[in-house]
Amino acid sequence: MKLHKSKKDPELYYYFNPKGEKKWMYRHKYYDQYGKRKEKKKRFDTEKEAYQALLKLKVDTIRGATKPVEFSNYTVAQWFDTWYETYSQNWKISTRIQRESAIRLHIKPLLGSYKLSELQRTTYQKEFINNLLKNKKPSTVESLHNIFKIGINSAVEDEIISRNRFTKLKIQNKESNEDKKEKETIAANSSIKENYLEVHELVLLLDKAKEIFNITNYTLFFVLAYTGLRKGEGCGLCWSDINMEKRTLTVERTRDNKGVRPPKTLNSYRTIDLDQSIIDQLKKYKTWCKKTLLSFGHHLKEDDFIFISYQTGKPLSENTFNSSLDRAIKKIGIKRITPHGLRHTHATVLLNDKENRSTVEDVADRLGNTPQEIHKTYHHILQERKKETATIFTELVRSAGN
């Protein structure tokens, strides 16, 4: 392609495309922040467009704004990958997991191909916010929006772009009647209050489960009871999510008979500490899994789902666990709970601790909820806890006087 210089500027050129049409482009040479010689070029349909863009580019480089010039073709996906790789080690583990998931599952799929410097508010609203609101709650969309804004603010601070266009954009948090009814049900429905076991009932169930469950169902039951995970989160665990040395478990997905999906909310992405007894059981179970998979001609891989069927070696069906739990409860003669009742049991035991060693915030972090959700769901328990706090204060004062 032969270039012809324009009379307006020595860095402005015209050329003819294969169709014989006259087109324009600039080729601007400059030095970057490290003193290296660079060239920036771009094509246009008219001389006027090319000339105006070249003048703006020259002004930017003269005043030292070489970063916006350097990164003008950076896509949203490229920037958020760079942002995560550069700064993620300074974030808390829970923040790291939350932001990585938001980037991978939402920001890059919906906005990744757009140029960072050219993304407009209207495009962002239409392609990101509006699309998310089709199947996510406004509170979840707002959390994703906040993560996006934090990433954009970092681009501004690094002088990649000049400003954040998305700071004043608000998410309309209008709840549907169904959402309101669901929240009211969580706060008031007595069935939730009944869907948990007392500590002594849990101990009985744990003992009986060890007798009648196969090792897969027992290990899943043990993990759910001792962590408060949702059943889908438990079924979605892979071996790579367990850190045996640090004794931690990371939730990154949920799985049921309909397939694998992201966790319920952004708060559901979390890393929690494990007791040594869970680690011991998981080590024992991992050995069993290796032998079982070998019998089917497979080797265990770290990205395999943890809980597998002894009959097929494939990921466990949720229905199998449900029937096993019902059978154990009937044999003991205690009240029936659902698998989700193990989650309620975990929270209730922690919140009922007489020494108050676990705060509402601690329980919320462990369950992947917000403190507000804990207050709504376990309102009846927390009310009793308040009464006991008053009694404890009186006892402490009296004991000091004696």
Are the C-beta atoms of residues 269 and 252 closer than 8 Å to each other?
yes
Using 50, 70 and 90 to split pLDDT, how confident is the model at 256? confident
Q: How confident is the model at residue 401 (pLDDT cuts 50, 70, 90)?
A: low
Distance between CA atoms of 209 and 216, rounded to whole angstroms? 11
Name the phi and psi angles at 119, rounded to 5.
-65, 120
**Chain segment 52-67, per-residue pLDDT in tens:** 887 777 666 545 544 4
* pTM, 2 dp: 0.57
321 touches 221 (CB < 8 A): yes
Q: For residues 32-46, give the mean pLDDT.
A: 76
Average pLDDT, the chain: 84
pLDDT digits (tens, 9 = 90+) for 264-300: 788 899 999 999 999 999 999 999 999 999 999 999 9
Residue 210: pLDDT band by 50, 70, 90 thresholds?
confident
Residues 6 or more apart whose Cβ sits within 8 Å of residue 166: 121, 124, 145, 148, 149, 152
